[in-house]
Structure 1
Amino acid sequence: MSSEAGAKSKRNVFFLGATGFLGSQFLVLLARSDLAPTTHIVALVRNVTPDKEKRLKEVYQDLSIIEGDLDSHDIVKEQASNARYVINCASSDNDACVRNILIGLEERQRRDPAHPPLYIHVSGLAIANDNARGEKVEESTIPVYTDIGFSLGQLPPGGPHLNCDTLISVAGSRKDGPLRTIIAYPGWIYGVSEGYRKTTAALRVFIGACKSLQQMGTWGPGHNSFSSIHVKDAANALLMIFKRAVAGNVDVGTGGHYFLASDEPTVPFREIMGVIGDVLYKQKVFANGGSRPLPASVTDAYGELGWVLLGGNHRVKASRMKRLGWTPSESRKISLLESLPTEVQIALREDKTLLA
């Protein structure tokens, strides 16, 4: 694939997740990169206001907004059809949105078969979940996956994110007219973003779910542990992938699976929830600190998917990114547990409903 270096016209990128935690941090780094002068972002944004548009353009100046959401099917198809590049940092589980992106990209490919479009999709490492249901298990029994030689067929069927990831994998690996597809799988993304959204939505979801209990909690006893990655490291990995994709020298399709995880020790879920609970107690938001196993009145609302996402372990090796020269430097500077108190305080400022 030839490089786009020296191209006179700007490359248009249809971007989903511009107001999100990871997506906005990616745009911050893109704005600082040598791609910025030749890259125009078309961002899908819901509930557009002048203030929201102003703040987004402070993050990335060369940006235009298309109002809509992931369920705006015709808009998503049209914008994907108009773009040679689509980056989806929004929901990893909206399969209707993914189908519409792929339909749009396939329309574009039929118009210009010499230049296959690129789709970068952000999934998650919950695909590697062992469904331990929060129980303590022997470390030797936890599967360890590496992204070199990886395929979705290695995973148990029916796991999280596979509804979307399978669609993308098929589109990128078929023999007749494959798209250029890349799926990135970050672990627990933590830290404080420099972008539009400063903290992960997971914090607000967990705090909201536990408000009625006045104490943080876990699915089961919470012995399960997760790989993690600082938001700046995850965004830097995406930028590295995108830059190489523009230059035409990155693995796509069957080789387009990229795990994003640091080498730092995995963190048990009960320790994560315990730190959050202690901060909320000190802030007089919750009546109790620490965490405890959640009752069925909370977990039942999330169904079996909640147990799979939040009750299991995942162990992976980010071999592909390291082969590209990527290092999780921010994750080495500050750990997940060290970062959490600041994140919780910022989340409380970002979302006043958590204090109600």
Structure 2
Amino acid sequence: MASPQTLFILGATGHLGSQFLVNLAHSPAIPQLRVVALIRKLTPETQAKLKEIYKDLEIVEGSLDEAAEIKSQAEKADYVVNCASSDHLGSIQAILAGLGNRSESTGVPPIYIHVSGLGIIGDNSRGEFVAPEKVPHYSDIGFTIDQCLPTNPHVDCDTVIVAAGTRKERPIRTMILFPGLFYGIGDGIRKTSLLLRLYAGLAVQAGFAGTWGPGYSRVESLHVKDCAEALVIMFKAALEGKADEGRDGLYFAAAEQKVELREMARLIGDVMFEKGLLEKGGSHPLPPEVIAPFSEGGWSLLGSNTSVTPARLKLLGWEHRETRKKSFYESIPEEMELVLKDMQ
């Protein structure tokens, strides 16, 4: 019997990455794979949890800065899924170099699925109010990276990935997922979203929960389980030869709900104030010294509006079922309980 093909995953212990492994393990449409996971800080507990999620799993200890190890693992993999940092150019270049070598040696183009984000299309409104009809709207069908502001996050890295997915020599089958803000308590190792953990940490620094500018920015969101299922559906379509790839392999993931970042911060602030963790509740603009370390990238991500249609995923049959069960705002109180417990 032929040995299973290999999937190399980065970000396997994160909110989305570990949820993807859960969904992958329970997907009858995906054949059994040998999974190799790059883990930065390996503990016996983490190892046990990962192997409980996915049985045929091997762990390689290392960080995103270890390009040689990443290149080596990518060269040995049939597929790579990157749920780690969207903008770590060195690790992305290492993945593409390894996959390019594999393509050349086997004659079979490997698959690379990369998780980016909708911050790439942000309008840089600096948190000021913009009428919904004046916010640029995009469909992923017909979307190209050069439509984005060149200073926006993800542009540089995603341009490199698309280039690798369109070349004729050492070809790679590339696909990029651009999710909105994903939230909700997951089934994987990391239960809570990075966004709520970030805002809670900044609230402790400032003494209140706050926003970039006045916080009128409105963005897409979706439940982490729906985001993970989008990755599984993309992967399945690629295995079946039905996926859009390369220049066309750009997939938006968003549900039919908008989140106003000012309202999100208000809910976080009220929860923390009620627990005696902040000096005041509600939402207020964050002081310059708190947001300065995030530079312009922070404004692009958290001071911009986004508006999209996820046409490609819909054509593949994707639905945001978990998002319909519990909205972003409804999820905040219970998710914040876990966030604050981890902070303590």
- TM-score exceeds 0.5: yes
With over 3 angstroms needed to count, the CA separation of the structure-2 counterparts of 1:345 and 1:216, relative to structure 1, is same
Determine if contact 1:21/1:201 at 8 Å carries over to the other structure.
yes
- Match for 2:72 among 62, 67, 78? 78
1:3 match: none
Per the TM alignment, residue 84 of structure 1 is displaced from its structure 2 partner at its CA by 1.0
1:204 alignment partner in structure 2: 197
Determine helix, strand or coil for the equivalent of 2:294: helix
Tell me, yes or no, if the aligned pair for 2:141 and 2:311 is still in contact at 8 Å.
yes
Q: Distance in 2 between matches of 1:212 and 1:240?
A: 40
1:269-280 alignment to 2 at 5 Å?
A: 269-280=261-272
Q: Which residue of structure 2 lines up, in the alignment, with residue 338 of structure 1?
A: 330
Q: Is the 8 A contact 1:85 1:119 kept in 2?
A: yes
Answer whether contact 2:206 2:290 (CA < 8 A) is retained: no
**CA–CA distance in structure 1, aligned partners of residues 129 and 319 of structure 2:** 30
Partners in 2 of 1:173 and 1:340 — Cα distance? 41
Q: 1:109 aligns with which of 103, 120, 123?
A: 103
CA deviation after TM superposition for structure 1 residue 34, in Å: 2.1
CA RMSD of aligned residues (A): 1.3
Mapping of 1:19-98 within 5 angstroms? Answer: 19-34=13-28, 38-98=32-92
After TM superposition, give the deviation of residue 350 of structure 1 in Å: 2.5
> 139, 143, 152: which one pairs with 1:150?
143
Q: Are 1:123 and 1:183, in contact at CA under 8 Å, matched by a contact in 2? A: yes
Counterparts of 1:10 and 1:302, CA distance in 2: 42
CA distance in structure 1 between the aligned counterparts of 2:263 and 2:271, rounded to whole angstroms: 12
Structure 1 counterpart SS, 2:19:
helix
The 8 Å contact of residues 219 and 293 in structure 1, kept in 2 or not, is answered as yes
Runs (5+) with no aligned partner, structure 2: none
Tell me the CA shift for residue 130 of structure 1: 0.2
Identity %: 47
Give the corresponding residue for 1:313.
305
Q: Hey, what does 1:164 align to over in structure 2? A: 157
Count of residues paired in the alignment: 344
Return the letter of the residue paired with 1:81.
E
Which AA in structure 2 matches 1:342? E
Deviation at 1:158, TM superposition (A): 2.3
SS in 1 for 2:25: helix
Equivalent pair of 1:182/1:256 in contact (CA under 8 Å): yes
Mapped to 2, the partners of 1:153 and 1:212 lie a distance apart of 37
Aligned 8 A contact 2:82 2:115 in 1: yes
Aligned counterparts of 2:196 and 2:259: Cα–Cα separation in 1: 16
Query: Does the CA contact (< 8 Å) of 1:109 and 1:116 recur in 2?
Result: yes
Deviation at 1:235, TM superposition (A): 0.5
- Name 1:328's counterpart in structure 2: 320
Letter in 1 for 2:225: K
- After superposition, the Cα gap between the structure-2 partners of 1:34 and 1:303, relative to the gap in structure 1 and judged at 3 Å, is same
8 Å CA contact 2:125–2:305 kept in 1: the answer is yes
Q: Match for 1:256 among 224, 227, 249? A: 249
Q: For residue 137 of structure 1, report the CA deviation from its aligned partner.
A: 1.2
Q: 1:241–1:37: structure 2 CA closer, same or farther, 3 Å change rule? A: closer
Contact map agreement 2:148 2:155 (CA 8 A) in 1: no
| Letter aligned with residue 187 of structure 1 | G
Task: Summarize deviations over 1:193-237 as a string: whole Å, max 9, x none.
Answer: 000000012222222122122210101000111100100100111
Counterpart contact for 2:22–2:188, Cα < 8 Å? yes
| Closer/same/farther in 2, CA of residues 80 and 214 from structure 1, 3 Å limit | same
Aligned pair partner of 2:126 in 123, 133, 148: 133
Shift of 1:174: 2.2
Q: Is it true that 1:195 corresponds to 2:188 in the alignment? A: yes
Distance across 2 between alignment mates of 1:325 and 1:8: 31
Shift of 1:157: 1.4
Q: Residues 119-168 of structure 1, C-alpha deviation per residue, up to 9 Å, x if partnerless?
A: 00000000110000000012222110111111111112121111211110
8 Å Cα contact 1:9/1:38 also seen in 2: no
Q: Deviations over 1:4-54 (max 9, x none)?
A: xxx832010000011000010111111111256621110000121111100
Counterpart of 1:17 in structure 2 is: 11
Q: Secondary structure at the match of 2:87?
A: coil
Over 3 Å counting, the alpha-carbon distance change for 1:38 and 1:212 in structure 2 is: closer
Gaps of 5+ in 1: 1-6
- TM-score for both structures, normalised by structure 1: 0.94
2:296 aligned partner: 304
TM value normalised by structure 2: 0.97
Amino acid paired to 2:51: K
SS at match of 1:41: strand
Mapped to 2, the partners of 1:24 and 1:151 lie a distance apart of 29
Asked if 1:241 corresponds to 2:239, the answer is no
